[in-house]
Structure 1
Amino acid sequence: MTNYNLSATLMSDRKTYYPLILLLLIIFSSISTAFAQYFELTNKSKVNIPFKMVRNMVILKLNINDRGPYNFILDTGVGIMIITEPKLIDSLNIPDKRTLRLAGLGAGEDYEAYVTAPLKIDMPGIKGVGVGAAIFKKDHFGLSNYAGIPIHGLLGYEFFNKLVVKLNFTDSVLTAYKPGKLKKIKKFEALPILIENNKPYITTTVRFCDGSERKCKLIVDIGAGHPLSLDNHRVNRWPTEKSIAANLGMGLTGPISGEISRVTQLSIGKYGLNNVLSSFPENQNSAYFTSRDGNLGMDVLKRFTVIFDYENNLMYLKARGNLKEPFEHDMSGMEYYAGGAGLKHVVISRVEPGSASDDIGLAKDDEIMSVNLKPVANMSLEDLDHLFKSGDGRGVLLEIYHDKQYSRVILTLKRRI
């Protein structure tokens, strides 16, 4: 997404749970197609809802069955509502639910999920209509560990299919409009999108290191933290120059390996972004991805104010003024997650061979106690992410707990790509 489920490898590429959700979507859709599932405004023509931006994820608070609030990731790359916290099964008092076993994905309860009848879902000024959810009996995603705050699920297509949704990343405000009530969009560029399998696709142009250009059909995926990912499922492989081997997550059959490199330019409508980082995962099951070339992630999308209008097959973009900011990859060479009481402990889950962290002997299961003399309990994982991307050659003082001993080491950041 490694022996603590998916949380560790989510550090590299948060969308590695995609094959599991895709298979669930196929089965769940066949069960629920007879029911309309959408969100609507309760009285006004538009409503503003604050969101929290955590590690390139849009997190909304919502209530379910008059309980909550619960933290849900808004994710255009997910076709159904997913409750990832099994403890909610009892606390929400959901009597009408069916057990769904995902054949071929494991034995026992490991890959069993509940499919619920419509739930009462609401947030200020918005309510769900006929929206049910899938609830896994075990937490396969580890999203709370990845975010450093409790995460209870994923909210996808149903939130967008009957609303016009504007994401303002400058103010961290989501504005939802009734269809036809969107105004004052003269400064936005309208781009056509295609809704397939409950997900939005856009056609972009990617220029590579050899000067070649290719049209790429990408999922517009606000749940993916990376800038760009291009699927290597074709004979005509993508041209790359300098690249680094990378652990891109954990799939159902094991780790997803691949490369991280850069493309010369990514063009989205009239906008061009240069020297963009891109993941190139290997060993993908082509059955999942035959109709797409990859996905466009939040590290690009957050540089715009974005409006989704599924009903009219349009996406509107307006640059925020930071298009020229460089795309930087982690310079520490380690992945880490939040654990322990209150998710206040930061534990290393993986160290990349030959990286800055490997050079000073950091290892899996080491705990980071403080950074530059500041306790990590007073920092967010996003604070650490920014620090570990902050500059080639920068020294960072770490206090590490390893093998029941404390030590201080200086980590010298090293740009690898």
Structure 2
Amino acid sequence: MLIIFGCSGRGYAQFFQLTEGRNQVSVPFKVVRNMVIIRLKINNNGPYNFILDTGVGFMVITEPSLVDSLNILDRRTLKLAGLGEGDDFDAFYTSPLNIEIPGINSVGVSAAIFKKDHFGLSNYAGMPIHGLLGYEFFNRLVVKINFNDSTLTAYRPGKMKTPRKYEALPITIESNKPFLKTCVRFCDNSERKCKLIVDIGAGHPLSLDDNNANPWPTQKTIAANLGMGLTGPISGEISRVRQLDIGKYSFTNVLSSFPAKRGDDTFIAERDGNLGLDVLKRFILIFDYSNGLLYVKPRTNLKEAFERDMSGLEYYAGGDELKRIVISRVEPGSASDDLGLAKDDEILSVNFKPVANMSLEELDHIFRSGDGRGLLLEIYHDKQFTRVILTLKRRI
């Protein structure tokens, strides 16, 4: 989720198109820790790894070193702001770049380049991440995201046959983001009609913004770090809603984030929250911005339970090869907090398997694999090697 100030100079069209003679192009993608990642080249350099993010108003390069490697000379400064507890900060805004995905090229697309890496996305993903690709990729193409075979297919407008066995949901494009109207039922059986950003760049299932005028009915909640915004960590609470309706499909007992309201609410758009990838990846998706439609087709994992980490650990990949797993935060009152694990401790192995041979996604899966499950962790703590038995605990 990103809001950018100081960009009123964008008076020209920015979009992607298929190369001449092509009506559709398919490219592979990866899903890493609930992020859709594609590869692209910029100014004949790369390839670079970019997160596909419908919640981003325009392209963002998060790796500051690309300013020099891409030989970007025309740099204007703009102000960035977004969810988070820190101050706004500056970034460069580039002249149009030459961006290439096999069979697809950019027209007039510029980018904001961080002067400092505020996200740490490479450490979070355990692989190099160079930026976020948003609205410009979707505004002139029809984009199908098939999570069954990890293939993205882009169609020239008007060249995709009307998809069968999909439900067509009306969306609106506002502030360069797609919005969908949904129905949410809460613990007290009350229902609310909600206007949500369809945000494939958000890993959570559902997030509902602060609503002082009409607070959301919640039952059990836990305080949590909800992720990293542009200006720092996003604090708030996590609870569950009884039911979430997406078209004719219903999800029950859905985890929902409730971000704390920031003092300055000028960054909040007219919305109730956003719908993240932990729900959206349960469908094959087709975004058709020009016709105001989102097509959805359910996958076999549609009814899987929504689970959250049960260890209480947040961690990132460190070291030159991103093979070290370092704890960045321990959730108060969690199983790991009870054991005395702490920030900057390093996880060396889980059940005798070295974490250097595991992906972060494998670790995520293990740490949400079952209430009461015991795990043997080897930890480097306070300059000593130690082994502890961590008993997973579902807290919400």
TM-score relative to the length of structure 2: 0.95
Q: What is the 5 A alignment of 1:35-114?
A: 35-42=12-19, 43-100=21-78, 111-114=89-92
Question: Percent of pairs identical after alignment?
Answer: 72
* Paired amino acid for 1:399: E
Q: How does 1:13-412 map to 2 (within 5 A)?
A: 18=1, 21-22=2-3, 24=4, 26-28=5-7, 30-32=8-10, 34-42=11-19, 43-100=21-78, 111-183=89-161, 185-249=163-227, 255-284=233-262, 285-412=264-391
**What letter corresponds to residue 392 of structure 1 in structure 2?**
D
- Give the TM-score taking structure 1 as reference length: 0.90
Uncovered stretches (5+) of structure 1, i.e. residues with no partner: 1-17
Q: Which moved more, 1:350-359 or 1:304-313?
A: 350-359
Shift of 1:62: 0.0
Q: Structure 1, residues 98-153: CA drift from partner, whole Å, max 9, x if none?
A: 233569x9xxxx93311111111001100001101111111111111111100000
Task: Give the residue type in structure 2 aligned to 1:388.
Answer: F
Deviation at 1:290, TM superposition (A): 4.6
Give 1:233 deviation, angstroms.
Answer: 3.0
Give the structure with the larger helix fraction. Answer: 1
Contact 1:233 1:286 in 2 (8 A): no
d(CA) in 2 for partners of 1:253, 1:127: 31
Offset at 1:249?
A: 3.6
Aligned AA for 1:331? M
CA distance in 2, matches of 1:305, 1:125: 22
Note if contact 2:118-2:232 (Cα within 8 Å) is conserved in structure 1: no
Q: Distance in 2 between the 1:273 and 1:79 partners?
A: 28
The 10-residue stretch of structure 1 (403-412 or 193-202) with the greater mean CA deviation from structure 2: 403-412
Cα separation, partners in 2 of 1:251 and 1:357, compared to 1, 3 Å: same
Q: Distance in 1 between matches of 2:229 and 2:133?
A: 21
Q: Distance in 2 between matches of 1:367 and 1:238?
A: 38
Structure 2: runs of 5 or more not aligned: none
The one-letter amino acid paired with 2:151 is V
| Residue of structure 2 in register with 1:13 after alignment | none
Distance 1:254 1:322, change over 3 A: closer
| Distance apart, 1:244 and its partner CA | 1.3
What does the per-residue CA deviation read over 1:8-46, in whole Å, with 9 as the maximum and x for residues that have no partner? Answer: xxxxxxxxxx3xx30x2x322x111x2110000003100
CA contact (8 A) 2:89 2:231 kept: no
